[in-house]
Amino acid sequence: MLGFLTLLILFVKNNIFRTFTSLILFFFIGVSSVYINDDRNYESFYKHHLKENSLVVLQIHKVLKSGNYHQKYEAKVLNVDDEKTTGTILLNIKKDTVFKVLNVDAKLLLKPVLSELTLPLNPHQFNYKSYLAKQGIHHQIFIENSQFLTLNSKERTLFGWSAKFRNQVQKSLKKHNFKADELAVINALLLGQRQDISKELITDYQRAGAIHILAVSGLHIGVLMLILSFLLKPIESIKYGRFLKMLLIVFLLWMFAFIAGLSASVVRAVTMFTFLAFGLSFKRKNVVEFSFISSMFFLLLIQPMFLFDVGFQLSYLAVFGILWIQPKLYKLYTPRFLIDKKIWELFSVSIAAQIGIFPLSIYYFHQFPGLFLASNLVIIPFLGAILIGGVFVIITSLLNILPQFLANFYGTIISWMNGFVSWVSHQEKFLFKEISISFNFMICCYVFTFLGILFLMNVSAKKMIYFLISIVLIQGVFLLESNEKQSKKEIIIFHKSSHTLIGNRIGKQLFLQHSLDSLQFKNENSIKSYKIIEGVNEVHQTKFKNLIKCSKKEILLVDSLGVYAVSGLVNPIVVLQYSPKINVSRLIQKIKPSQIIADGSNYKSDIIRWESICFQNKIPFYYTGIKGAFILKY
């Protein structure tokens, strides 16, 4: 099929037909790539062979950030009993007094019990199940240290060698008494490891618009490529020097990717700049744009799920903004001095990249750091020196020749950077938070931006009409969504372990009855997420007592007091809270509920018993701890 479509494109001369056929070809290439990359489509997938008490061999592929109670790993399933298998799982090992972090490539023998990854239990919370599914992970395992054996194996993968090298680097750096935050940032900047960065420091970088500094990505690879291109420029004077220089740059970039752990973001960035390096060596028109698009197509062909990765989307949109918008923006002002020129170059690059990612970053992160220019203008000019200095520090520390005064100086530079970012992040007036836009509105924003820039680049009546249409489109979507939010009404029974949390949404107001204390209520993420995404302006704490009335149904709340004798009820929805000591069978006979709901404040043993009683009486039962928040629209 793919070959036939390719032949049609090559031999049919009609441009319209060729364009249409190309679209079909790329569609089928995408579908084929997704199918080929999904382990579940093969007989060797581990779940097809897993039985009760099966012996499984796992190989640690990646060490993840640990949770409060478990150390987390991404692990390959090598064998199930005597069968070779494929697939990746999330491995959770309970922490205890003898807890020790496993190394990449370690092999474990165990009898696992697969657990399904859980969906978010409240509306608009992060969908971890969907996130892992896009990385090819569909199950998880929970075990303790006593439930597996570590196998002796000298076999090492490329990822294992990379992890071993990073561990050696980290050991050598710890000898030089770097502060915790300094060492964490060095690990993030140069080794691609963010597990040890504190939540407070990550929050500071996010609020300052400089979080990209902590993730080895296109920015770091681009800076390294510029530095290497400058340092290796003398090679161009010899025969085939330009080609040799390009090969050397590509080799050194992939060496850095190896040091940084070959994470998805690093591999994407180095792949992109590998294509750019090859393209620049030919010095042809539009070669940079062609290399950029080719790298994106190549990556999606190899790993199509990158398309849904936030880092992939932001990286390519930022580079697209720099390639397309920055040259036009740079022409608006002609610098007179060298310093002026460099500042304007950096300023225009930052603005162009921000234009490229602005709607998408608002869509995902719901905030905009107004001082992103300040943080980028200060940090990015020194990023090259920080990276080169860091590489020097690593090499000399590995050779045990790093002077302590030099380590102290480098640590001080990192501390100054952290301190500056922290200061910027605390300028609350310039941090615009709790901004929410829909997917449709985000697309409209990109259409508006694209047509607006086209119009400003080449003013014409036709382009002005398209630009005005995009403005009308944005206004129309905004008004429709605003009207929908204003007229929305629903009852939400949130899931909160050991607590009750019920909301009545009326337009842009949310009335809440809950059992949280003031600090818990202030930090409750389920309310924050709902408020931001749903465009709720006001949240009021209230008391529904034991009855909520809406146009469709009456909702009876039965708490620990066990009171449900309310006259005039007709097939109400009953919400059980705090494990009331009642006879549920008698409740069903007396008030004939249309449905029974148990929230997170109840004991599990009671929930199991109630579910059985409801099943016997053919009454729908709903537990928020499994099915998530209950939502009734009215």
Judge contact between 148 and 59, C-beta under 8 A.
no
Same domain, 495 and 469: no
Q: Specify whether 550 is located in the same domain as 455.
A: no
On whether both 235 and 322 belong to a single domain, the answer is yes
Residue 119 and residue 175 in one domain: no
Beta-bridge partners for 489: 506
Cα–Cα distance, 110 to 79 (Å, whole number): 11
Task: Report pLDDT for 245.
Answer: 85
- Contact (CB, 8 A) for 335 and 348: no
The burial of 323, by beta-carbon neighbours within 10 Å (0-12 exposed, 13-18 middle, 19 or more buried), is given as middle
Instruction: State whether residue 119 is helix, strand or coil.
Output: coil
Domain boundary residue among 468, 483, 498? 483
| Domain stop point among 137, 155, 173 | 155
The answer to whether residue 124 sits within a structural domain is: yes
Helix axes 372-398, 158-174, angle to 10 degrees: 90
To which residue do tokens 């042809």 refer? 284
pLDDT given for residue 91 in this prediction: 95
Phi, psi (rounded to 5 degrees) for 383: -65, -40
pLDDT at 1: 62
**Euclidean distance between CA atoms 168 and 179, whole angstroms:** 18
Query: Strand, helix or coil at 555?
Result: strand
Whole-model pTM: value is: 0.84
Strand arrangement of the beta sheet that strand 630-633 belongs to: 538-541, 509-514, 501-506, 489-493, 630-633
611/620 Cα distance (integer angstroms) = 9
Is the Cβ–Cβ distance between 259 and 158 less than 8 Å? Answer: no
Token pair of 599 as six digits: 């929230």
Q: What is the pLDDT of residue 256?
A: 84
Give the pLDDT confidence score for residue 431 in this predicted structure.
79
pLDDT for 204 equals 84
Count of H helices and E strands in the chain?
22, 20
DSSP label of 118? P
What's residue 578's pLDDT? 93
337 and 389 share one domain: yes
Q: Please indicate, yes or no, if residue 589 is contained in any of the structural domains.
A: yes
Helical residues (DSSP H) of 175-240, grouped into ranges = 180-191, 199-207, 218-231
Instruction: Identify the residue whose tokens are 């920080």.
Output: 386
For position 285, what pLDDT does the model report?
64
| Statement to judge: residues 84 and 230 lie in one domain | no
Structural domains in the chain (count) = 5
Is residue 41, in this structure, part of any structural domain at all? Answer: no
CA 39 to chain centre: 22
Give the residue from 451, 483, 515 where a domain finishes.
483
**Comparing C-alpha atoms, which of 492, 473, 477 is closest to residue 438?**
477
Report which DSSP code applies to 496: B
CATH of the domain at 122: 2.40.50
Cα distances from 249 to residues 10, 361, 391, in angstroms, run 35, 31, 16
Is 594 inside any structural domain? yes
Written as six digits, the tokens of 192 are: 């691609």
Spatial CA neighbour of 213 closest among 361, 491, 507, 414: 414
Examine the domain organization and report whether 229 and 353 are in the same domain: yes
Rounded-to-integer distance, Cα 324 and Cα 545, Å: 59
Helix (H) or strand (E) segment spanning residue 557: strand 554-558
Say if 346 falls within a structural domain. Answer: yes
Task: Indicate if 427 and 453 belong to the same structural domain.
Answer: no
Whether 278 and 324 map to the same domain: the answer is: yes
pLDDT at 106: 92
Encoded tokens for 384: 């090259």
Place of tokens 């720099």: 322
Give the phi and the psi of residue 337 in degrees, each rounded to 5. Answer: -120, 160
Contacts of 239 (CB under 8 A, 6+ apart): none
* Residue range of the domain that includes 474: 439-483
State residue 11's pLDDT score: 64
pLDDT for res 601: 94
* Residue 427: HSE in the Cβ half-sphere, 13 Å Cα cutoff: 15
Q: Which residues, 6+ apart, have CB-to-CB distance to 97 below 8 Å?
A: none
By C-alpha distance, which of 324, 332, 298, 325 is closest to 312?
298
Cβ proximity of 262 and 162 under 8 Å: yes
319 and 380 assigned to the same domain: yes
pLDDT at res. 384: 77
Q: What pLDDT is recorded for position 12?
A: 67
573, 594 Cβ separation under 8 angstroms: yes
- Average pLDDT for runs of 10 along the chain of length 634: 64 70 78 88 92 91 86 94 92 84 90 89 91 91 90 84 86 87 85 80 82 75 81 83 85 85 81 81 70 85 87 85 83 78 80 87 86 76 81 87 89 89 83 87 93 85 91 94 92 94 93 89 89 90 84 87 83 93 91 93 94 93 94 91
Degrees, nearest 5: CA angle 18-20-25: 90
Q: Can you give the C-alpha Rg of the chain in angstroms?
A: 29
Q: Verify that 278 and 226 share a domain, yes or no.
A: yes
Residues 422 and 567 occupy one common structural domain: no
Q: What single letter denotes the amino acid at residue 535? A: G
Residue 249, in any domain of the structure: yes
Q: How far is residue 312's CA from residue 527's CA, in Å, rounded to a whole number?
A: 29
Q: Which amino acid is at 339?
A: I
Identify whether 312 is part of a domain: yes
Amino acid at site 382: F
Give domain status of residue 63, yes or no: yes
Residues 6 or more apart whose CB falls under 8 angstroms from that of 154 comprise none
